[in-house]
Amino acid sequence: MTATQSITSHASDEARPLKILIVGAGIGGLTAAIALRNQGHDIQIFEQSHLATETGAAIHLAPNANGLLRRLGIFAEQFGANPMERLTEYNATGEVQRQMNLKEANKRWQHPWLLAHRVDLHRNLKRIATTATKTRDAIPLRTASRVAQVVAETASITLEDGSQFHGDVVLGADGVHSATRHAVPGGQLKAECRGKSAFRFLVSKEAAANDPITAKLVQHPGELSIWYGNDSRIIMYPTSDNTVLNFVLIHPEDESAADCDNSWGQQGNLQKMLQIFDKFDPTILRLLGKAEPQSVKVWKLLDMDIVPQWHHHRLALLGDAAHPFLPHQGQGGAVAIEDAISLAVVLSPGISTTEVPELLRLYHDIRHERATRIQGFSRAIGEDRTDDKQLDIYGFTNFNFGHDEWDNS
């Protein structure tokens, strides 16, 4: 080796902050940006949308996610998230089947299970990422910047307008319809509709509480209620300081729902929704009838085969790009947050750029099995209910939260 070669290779091996390009400013991408900035790295985020009208309704911040956010100094209670305090399961006709005191369980879990509004969570993650701290610069976030191509070997991305950027690492946090996934071996997979749709909307809790008939369903703060039919279910929980009720109504695939490539924003039809659920308890139907017709959205639930490998050279996937979950356990956001923090642990300060591919492999190795199991639980919980099928739902929940015990009092 010549002296020049030796100096060049030493210079590129030098431990210095990594230049990390993040594709997608969703929950996973923004959390990764904040956590990796804390490790001293130099981050840039590329987001396809304008992020001007961020959408979504409520999202679970289960103890596994909430604890990690707290370690980043993010306390979701400060922007309206409320703790989940009770779980009530009904049959379709409104008889209580089971009730659990989660207030007690929340004391045992290290961190409470919170119900947040996705828009509030997203807005606050974006604010934290794009604000300078005493020791760290604001993270540049380029909106209207759709990434069209990724080269994993050189950690390069090309935007739709042809501009190119090069880094030491590229993180694909570009959600369920990820383009970066295609740059990973075996990642040429597409999320598919597999037979279920969901209506989603919010109702003011005050409107529900002021009606003496529906008031009894909403008396308890932080209560998650589920009405189970055979192939349909109604899920209700409060968010935004217990002022708003979030509804998700799952039912066999609805042709009026958005096509599979347009998952979140399609207008739903309130009357059609009430018709689909007309065999359910009249009290819950009365409450559903309080939805603002314009607020009802409908989408087809997406699932995908397992991505065998989440990393390739200098590229790694996280969140829905790596493992789109069906929504039945509310773990999509939580596991994206876990992935983000794991990347920040693996890409610790002081590593050299040549170590990156091996460290991304390590990230894959420590995360893949856990996420795949949770993906499987989410499928199982969403299956139609039959009397002879007993699912260990609370065993799943313990696994997700990393706890051995479930308080069943």
Using CB atoms within 10 A of its CB, is residue 70 exposed (0-12), middle (13-18) or buried (19+)?
A: middle
Find the binder of ligand FAD among 24, 67, 268, 357 (CB under 6 A).
Answer: 24
What does DSSP say about strands 42-46 and 19-23: parallel, antiparallel, or unpaired? parallel
**According to CB under 6 A, which residues from 34 to 53 bind ligand FAD?**
46-49
Residue 119 phi, psi dihedral angles, 5° rounding: -65, -40
Using CB atoms within 10 A of its CB, is residue 330 exposed (0-12), middle (13-18) or buried (19+)?
A: buried
- Using CB under 6 A as the binding rule, whether residue 55 contacts ligand FAD is answered as yes
Find the binder of ligand FAD among 85, 223, 320, 338 (CB under 6 A).
Answer: 320
Contacts of 120 (CB under 8 A, 6+ apart): 76, 79, 80, 81, 240
Sheet holding 164-166, edge to edge: 147-151, 156-159, 164-166
CB under 6 A: which stretch of 22-30, 188-196, 354-362, 391-399 binds ligand FAD? 22-30
Query: Nearer Cβ to ligand FAD, position 31 or 214?
Result: 31
Smallest gap from residue 299 Cβ to ligand FAD (A): 9
- Using CB under 6 A as the binding rule, whether residue 382 contacts ligand FAD is answered as no
Place of tokens 């066999």: 252
Does residue 295 contact residue 265 with C-beta atoms inside 8 Å? no
Query: Nearer Cβ to ligand FAD, position 75 or 264?
Result: 264
Find the binder of ligand FAD among 22, 28, 35, 233 (CB under 6 A).
Answer: 28
Which tokens in the block code for residue 67? 């604890």
Does residue 246 contact residue 82 with C-beta atoms inside 8 Å? no
Taking CB positions, which residue lies at the least distance from ligand FAD? 26
Which tokens in the block code for residue 148? 């069209």
Query: Nearer Cβ to ligand FAD, position 301 or 321?
Result: 321
Find the binder of ligand FAD among 25, 203, 273, 291 (CB under 6 A).
Answer: 25
- Using CB under 6 A as the binding rule, whether residue 357 contacts ligand FAD is answered as no
- Using CB under 6 A as the binding rule, whether residue 125 contacts ligand FAD is answered as no
| Residues in contact with ligand FAD by the rule CB under 6 A | 23-29, 46-49, 55-57, 59, 118, 146-147, 173-175, 179, 264, 319-321, 327, 332-333, 336
